[in-house]
Amino acid sequence: MSSPKLEETIERKSDETGDKVTPWDVNAESDTGIDYDKLIRRFGSSKISPELITRIESIIKKPVHHFIRRGIFFSHRDLESILTVYEQQKPFFLYTGRGPSSEAMHLGHLIPFIMTKWLQDAFDVPLVIQMTDDEKFLWKDITIDDANKYAYENAKDIIACGFDPTKTFIFSDFDFMAQCPNFYRNICRIQKSVTFNQVKGIFGFTESDCIGKIAFPAIQAAPSVSSSFPFIFGEKLKQELPCLIPCAIDQDPYFRMTRDVAPRLNFPKPSLIHSTFFPALQGSKSKMSASDPNSSIFLTDSPKDIKTKINKHAFSGGKDSIEEHRAKGGDCDIDVSFQYLTFFMDDDQRLEEIRQDYSSGKLLTGELKKILIEVLQTLVAQHQERRKQVTSDVVRQFMTPRQLNFRY
Amino acid sequence: MSSPKLEETIERKSDETGDKVTPWDVNAESDTGIDYDKLIRRFGSSKISPELITRIESIIKKPVHHFIRRGIFFSHRDLESILTVYEQQKPFFLYTGRGPSSEAMHLGHLIPFIMTKWLQDAFDVPLVIQMTDDEKFLWKDITIDDANKYAYENAKDIIACGFDPTKTFIFSDFDFMAQCPNFYRNICRIQKSVTFNQVKGIFGFTESDCIGKIAFPAIQAAPSVSSSFPFIFGEKLKQELPCLIPCAIDQDPYFRMTRDVAPRLNFPKPSLIHSTFFPALQGSKSKMSASDPNSSIFLTDSPKDIKTKINKHAFSGGKDSIEEHRAKGGDCDIDVSFQYLTFFMDDDQRLEEIRQDYSSGKLLTGELKKILIEVLQTLVAQHQERRKQVTSDVVRQFMTPRQLNFRY
């Protein structure tokens, strides 16, 4: 097949003068972190505007999640078309995923799943969650058995986010490949439509990369195609169904590629909503790293771990002395504790009070940290409690290919 | 994973001054056809020597197949080690395959299967036959459904070669991928160990090739690893079993690659025996082409088709006039009819008589063609008769993952 010019993808060279954002590497050029407006322009996505938020709220008849309200999910592609599908009472589905690189997940890993659960509840639609254990095997120095084990362990944390078992299918690539013939067929269709030149342009692959990495993007693309899961959709699958993908913005390259090839394969282009990155404790310059235990709060951390990490490692926007802080106030834009509260404190009014009090100097860094510690101790303890309920049987239930419930 | 230098593969540039032999393209530089001795040197394989033939015959206690005796299977890699395994009464298995590019197969396609059946009988070992319908989808302008249909149609012709159903597993890549988790796992292991640079060197891929083609070599490599088929081997599979691959020499690049990566993955290097190419009716410069109906005898041809094609298209080594032919004799080395007889006439003595008579001018081209026509009419009619017995149930039996019989 010929290789037509990709419409949506921007060649890698244009990336070289800005923040580096690929699925494997995120690095901000400036100390103030990633320039998300610039990223939207470079990626060619759209900002989630106040008008779009109003439209969502009028359709679902309730307020949007604070992730959307607060600009944590800030960018999208064709979200309007999904809203139209919903208004027309036609079916669509959600797709998100996780690369299971280790047993422990951290707070940042929860963001797309919290958003996705909210979307599942708000729109009452089926959801597929891909665990890319094959990707992690290809990229990391781990065995297939370990990557596959991490997929099942991580699935427990994902299930603990509260997904509806009648509407959610979770799968490991290694296992699902041998469960559904359509999956490999759709992967091949996509692999036939994308050249090395294209994945080089989109992902920055080189000739020294292994052929597994080079072919992998088709595997992350395929679950956006509903016919990869015929068992889920049953008689709804007269034609391919529209798909909405919530993900961090670094995953966008996979779906730019998917959207490029979709028309040639008679697949609908998937829609997306993109999140910003959850900052590391040390500051918002980069994503958290599962390999640096002090860069993040893990879902396995004890209340004491959380307290110590926040007090010791959370980058502060406060001033050097109490006197100076009282006089000049703290900087919420760079204060990691405050930023974490924007992710995890539901109450808009309380958050605004904290913002004002910290900015004015009324609230000290230690006091702000104390608030965050309590919020996170509660959140993590509740997560751990829910995760305990997730038995192997429950995991098996979520990971068994089966028909899911649809509203329409 | 790093990309160590491939030990066995020769960089593509050294190919540029000789015959072009890749899995997709065979072109002789000279009018006398492929220089097989040169190919052995370039590929780094070994000639099947008279001493090796003697060893085989002493081990299996019967004469080798005339394909080996007559140098049609002329080259090998590590065939000795397979003989040693057999002498030690340890298990090994055979692996061959076919790319199902169309419904009709021709005589040339039978060569590896005739050889493989003989080896299966002689050594009494299990056999796996890969139908690379995914490869054909990736390389040709055909649908997945058509490629998959051709796999099942071609399987009937392969089964008609007489394989033992208790010792033979035939599979389509598209279907087997969803039947056995180990297959994709071994594919990933190989894909992680081979870089784009390496497949570029071995197969001549370019940056404009689709990522499906680039990753495909791992899919043809994986069936040489016994753990791809745990159900076949049962308790024999305490460790990976040695594998012998009969194939035309143009398929060798796949297995040079496989042998290169095997040690790093703790897989045994597969052994190979290589055939020359079955000549097109028009002459031995190139392989037959399924897309040119007059270049080959199809297994669906009628006795009349066969007669017409041989009489009209089979390139003759005879002289221009009967007088000149009687005086100077014909040239068996370039006569396609004579070469076809070396493939399909069992009787050595009769073949030698024909060679002498044709070379001396005693036998005319029309008479030689008449002998060949009878041989092929019988062979094709018998094949068609056997193929009729191959019902869908029989195909299903061969293509069902199951334990196979072992001698040792």
Between chain A and chain B, how many beta carbons pairs sit less than 8 Å apart?
Answer: 127
User: CA B99 → CA B96, B103, B109, B256, B285, distances in Å?
Assistant: 11, 11, 10, 19, 22
- Dist. CA B291–CA B363, nearest whole Å: 33
Q: How many Å from the N-terminal Cα to the C-terminal Cα in chain A?
A: 37
pLDDT at A290 (0 to 100) = 61
For residue A178, give the nearest of B137, B177, B208 by CB distance. B177
Report the C-alpha gap between A141 and A146 in whole angstroms.
10
Distance, in Å, from the CA atom of B186 to the CA atom of B180, rounded to the nearest integer, reads 11
| A266–chain B Cβ distance below 8 A for any pair | no
Which of these ranges, A232-246, A293-307, B273-287, has the smallest mean pLDDT?
Answer: B273-287
B240: which 2 tokens? 């990976």
What are A282-321's pLDDT values in tens digits? Answer: 987 655 566 678 889 999 999 999 999 999 999 999 999 9
Domain borders along chain A are: 22-281, 303-389
Please give the Cα distance from B218 to A368 (Å, whole number): 55
Q: How confident is the model at residue B161 (pLDDT cuts 50, 70, 90)?
A: very high
Is pLDDT at B7 greater than 60 in this prediction? no
pLDDT at position B201 is: 95
Residue type, A335: D
Residue B173 in contact with residue B135, Cβ under 8 Å?
yes
Q: Does B192 touch chain A (CB under 8 A)?
A: yes
Q: Whole-angstrom Cα distance, residue B91 to residue B126?
A: 9
> What is the structure's pLDDT at A17?
54
Angle of CA points A213, A214, A215, to nearest 5°: 95
Q: Is the pLDDT of residue B13 over 80?
A: no
Contact status of B217 with chain A (Cβ, < 8 Å): yes
- Domains B22-281 and B303-389 in one fold: no
Taking CA atoms, what residue in A is nearest to B185? Answer: A174
User: What does the block give as tokens for A376?
Assistant: 């996170």
Per DSSP, the residues of B65-116 read PHHHHTTSEEEEESHHHHHHHHHTT---EEEEEE---SS--BHHHHHHHHHH
Tokens linked to B289 = 């082409």
Average pLDDT over residues B317-332: 95
- What per-residue confidence (pLDDT) applies to A16? 45
- Return phi, psi of residue B295, to 5°: -90, -10
Taking residues B230-247, report their average pLDDT. 92
Question: Chain A contact for B239, CB < 8 A?
Answer: no
How much is the average pLDDT of A178-193? 98
Residues B101-128: what's their mean pLDDT? 95
Is the CB of residue B212 less than 8 Å away from at least one CB of chain A?
yes
Q: Which residue has the higher pLDDT, B26 or B203?
A: B203
Chain B nearest-CA distance from A335, in A, is 39
What gap in Å lies between CA A109 and CA A276, rounded to an integer?
A: 12
* Cβ-contact A178, B175 below 8 angstroms: no
For residues A134-157, give the mean pLDDT.
98
Asked whether residue A1 carries a pLDDT value surpassing 90, the answer given is: no
What is the rounded CA–CA span in Å between residue B72 and residue B315? Answer: 19
Classify the complex by whether its ipTM is higher than 0.90, answering yes or no. yes
B392 to chain A nearest CA, in Å? 20
Distance between CA atoms of residues A169 and A239, nearest Å: 20
Q: Average pLDDT for residues B202-214, to the nearest whole number?
A: 97
How distant is the Cα of B230 from the closest Cα of chain A, in angstroms? Answer: 14
Q: What is the pLDDT of residues A28-86, one digit of tens each?
A: 777 677 889 999 999 999 999 999 999 999 999 999 999 999 999 999 999 999 999 99
Predicted local distance difference test score (pLDDT) of residue B292: 76
Task: Look up residue A17 and give its two tokens.
Answer: 């003068």
**In this predicted structure, what is the pLDDT of residue A14?**
43
Check residue B286 and give its pLDDT: 53
- Strand partners of residue A170: A129
Task: Say what the pLDDT of residue B289 is.
Answer: 64
Other residues' Cβ atoms within 10 Å of the Cβ of residue A344 = 19
CATH class given for the domain over B22-281: alpha beta
Mean pLDDT for all residues in chain B = 93
Report the C-alpha dihedral over residues A330, A336, A337, A338, rounded to 10 degrees: 60
Contact call for residues A75 and A249 (beta carbons, < 8 A): yes
Of all residues in chain A, the percent with pLDDT exceeding 90 is 85
The residue of B210, B216, B399 whose CB has the most chain A CBs within 10 angstroms, and thus the best one to mutate to test that interface, is B210
| Residue A132 phi, psi dihedral angles, 5° rounding | -85, 65
Residue B294: predicted pLDDT: 85
Residues 155-174 of B with CB under 8 A from A: 174
> Of A97-101, A193-197, A286-290, which range is least confident?
A286-290
What topology does CATH give the domain B303-389? Tyrosyl-Transfer RNA Synthetase (1.10.240)
Residue A5 has what pLDDT?
Answer: 45
Q: Does B122 touch chain A (CB under 8 A)?
A: no
Q: Residue B1: its pLDDT value, please?
A: 38
Q: What is the pLDDT of residue B21?
A: 84
Residues of B in contact with A212 (CB under 8 A): 188, 191-192, 215, 218
Query: Is any Cβ of chain A less than 8 angstroms from the Cβ of B69?
Result: no
From the list B134, B137, B218, which residue is nearest A211 (CB)?
A: B218
Q: Which residues contact B146 (CB under 8 A, 6 or more apart)?
A: none
Say whether pLDDT at B17 is over 60: no
Contact A245, A125 (CB under 8 A): no
Mean pLDDT across A106-124: 97
Chain A contact for B82 (CB, 8 A cutoff): no
Q: What contacts 24+ positions apart, CB below 8 Å, involve A357-360?
A: A358/A317, A358/A318, A358/A329, A358/A330, A358/A332, A359/A329, A359/A330, A359/A331, A359/A332, A360/A329
Q: What is the residue type of A376?
A: L
pLDDT value of residue A19: 80
